[in-house]
Each structure stands twice: as structure tokens, then as C-alpha cells.
């Protein structure tokens, strides 16, 4: 796990545990004389927390899930000795806080892992993969190969969105990067659509893509630098041939 996720989930665990303990103590105080009703109300509380967790953001749903089952744990535990409820609640909160603080300190001291480097590497790989998908579509090769590349690229785009969430948890200093990644996610899906549209257009009108662009896209690329070099050449070709002779899916 990365540093941002550890700290953020740790804070959520503490918050959820405190909410659950407070709810458990409230239920016990109000219904200590009717154990069956107390258990039913606790189950309703757990169901309510589960329902709320399905409505909030995925990264915040963890706290509500913990609030639900923490109350259930405390109420079931004190059935034989109800007077020990405050002690159980304090012990539960204390052990969670101590455990989370130790985990965060250990992570900061011994193995701080920022997801930023992973995001940078994935962005470079995504640029290359986008260009390679367009190459496949320009060649108008086997449809199964195109479908496979298209599906893999969609999964990578979704994975990048997950990385964006982790980066957002890590620190507020990545706020601008988070906004850029959100825009990149939209651009990536748009590029996938454009590439697939290029493939579909050629089913009925293969002459739309001229030999000039076929030759340009025929050259293999392996790195981001290769893609940048090819794009520079393509801009010069588009400036020379004009927008009218360039397929819309390539020009845009």
C-alpha cells in the first residue's frame, strides 16, 4: 500500500470506530433493560451504516462500514456483563488509535511510498499505448486484435483513475496534479473512441486514410520520445497537406 492510502484509511478507521462506539453506548444506555430490542436496534444501525456507505464516495465508505460493525461487536460482547460497556468502548478506541498511529509512523520512517512515481510511469506508458492503438486502427488489421488492445487500454485508463484517487489521499500539494489527471482520464477515453472510429470508418471508406498517414503510422514506437517525434512529423505533414486532406479523427 502507498503512504497516502495508509494514512487516509487509518484516519477513516479511527473516525468509524469512534462513531461506532458512541452509537453502541447510546443504544446500551437507552435499551439496557431490553436486550432483544437493543440487539434489533443495533442491527438496524449496522444496516443503516451499510446503506450510507453505498451512497458516499468509495474511499469514504470504509468509515461507515466500521461504524456499523464496531457497534455490533461491542453490544454482542457485553451481553453477559452490560456494566463493562464503557470499558469495552474505551479499549476498542484505544487499540485502534494506537495501531493506526504505529502503522503511520512506521510507514513514514521505514518505507514511505509515494504513488506519484507510479503515476508518471503509467502516464508515459499510456501515451505509447494510445499511439499503438491508433497504429492498429490505421492498419485496419484483425478486429480481435483491435478489440483486445482497446479493452486493455480502457482498463489502464480506469487504473490510472484509481491512482488519481490514491494521489489525492496522499497530500494536498498534489491538488493541481489531481485536476490534470482527471482531465487526462477524459482525454484518454476520447482518444480511444477516436481510434476505434478510425477503424470503423475504414470498413466502408478505406480511402479516408491516405497513404501518407499510413506511412507515418507504420513506423513502430517504443517510448514517449518516439511518440513525440512522430507527432512533430505529423504536425508538419498536416500543416503542409492542409486540414481538408486529413481525417477528422487524426486531426482532432
Do 54 and 146 belong to one domain? Answer: no
Question: Do 122 and 241 sit in the same domain of this protein?
Answer: yes
**Grid cell in block for residue 36:** 432483544
Count of structural domains, the chain: 2
Instruction: Using alpha carbons, select from 51, 58, 54 the residue that is nearest to residue 5.
Output: 58
Are 163 and 201 contained in the same domain?
Answer: yes
CB 85 within 8 A of CB 74: yes
The more confident residue out of 205 and 114 is 205
pLDDT > 70 fraction of the chain, expressed in percent and rounded = 92
| Domain stops at, among 60, 79, 111 | 111
What is the residue-averaged pLDDT of the chain? Answer: 83
Question: How far, in Å, CA of 227 to CA of 223, rounded?
Answer: 7
Asked whether residue 242 carries a pLDDT value surpassing 70, the answer given is no
Nearest Cα to 6, choosing from 161, 118, 92, 111? 111
Specify whether 228 is located in the same domain as 128.
yes
123 and 86 within one domain:
no
Range of the structural domain that residue 26 is part of:
3-111
Looking at the fold, whether 107 and 227 belong to one and the same domain comes out as no
Give the tens place of pLDDT for each residue, 202-228: 878 877 777 777 777 888 888 888 888
Per residue in 142-174, pLDDT (tens digit) is 788 888 888 888 888 888 887 787 777 766 667
From 95, 111, 127, give the residue that closes a domain: 111
Residue 244 has pLDDT above 70, yes or no: no
Q: Who's near 63: CB < 8 A, 6+ residues apart?
A: 12, 13, 15, 16, 19, 53
Query: pTM for this structure?
Result: 0.64
Band the pLDDT of 179: cuts 50, 70, 90: confident
* Residue 104 and residue 120 in one domain: no
Domain boundary among 111, 131, 146: 111
Amino acid at each position: 500500500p502507498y503512504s497516502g492510502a495508509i494514512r487516509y484509511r487509518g484516519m477513516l478507521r479511527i473516525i468509524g470506530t469512534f462513531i461506532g462506539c458512541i452509537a453502541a453506548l447510546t443504544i446500551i444506555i437507552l435499551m439496557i433493560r431490553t436486550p432483544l430490542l437493543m440487539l434489533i436496534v443495533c442491527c438496524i444501525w449496522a444496516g443503516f451504516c451499510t446503506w450510507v456507505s453505498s451512497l458516499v464516495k468509495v474511499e469514504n465508505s470504509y468509515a461507515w462500514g466500521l461504524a456499523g460493525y464496531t457497534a455490533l461487536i461491542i453490544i454482542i460482547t457485553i451481553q453477559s456483563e452490560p456494566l463493562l460497556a464503557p470499558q469495552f468502548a474505551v479499549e476498542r478506541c484505544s487499540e485502534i488509535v494506537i495501531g493506526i498511529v504505529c502503522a503511520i509512523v512506521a510507514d513514514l520512517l521505514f518505507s514511505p511510498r509515494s504513488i506519484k512515481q507510479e503515476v508518471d510511469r503509467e502516464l508515459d506508458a499510456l501515451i505509447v499505448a494510445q499511439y499503438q492503438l491508433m497504429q492498429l486502427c490505421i492498419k485496419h488489421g484483425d478486429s480481435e486484435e483491435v478489440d483486445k488492445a482497446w479493452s486493455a487500454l480502457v482498463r489502464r485508463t480506469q487504473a490510472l483513475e484509481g491512482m488519481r484517487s490514491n494521489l489525492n489521499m496522499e497530500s494536498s500539494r498534489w491538488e493541481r496534479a489531481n485536476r490534470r489527471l482527471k482531465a487526462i482520464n477524459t482525454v484518454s477515453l476520447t482518444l480511444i473512441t477516436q481510434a476505434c472510429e478510425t477503424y470503423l470508418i475504414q470498413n466502408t471508406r478505406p480511402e479516408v486514410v491516405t497513404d501518407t498517414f499510413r506511412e507515418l503510422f507504420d513506423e513502430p514506437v517504443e517510448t514517449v520520445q518516439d511518440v513525440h517525434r512522430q507527432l512533430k512529423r505529423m504536425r508538419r505533414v498536416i500543416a503542409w497537406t492542409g486540414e481538408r486532406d486529413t481525417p477528422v479523427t487524426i486531426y482532432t
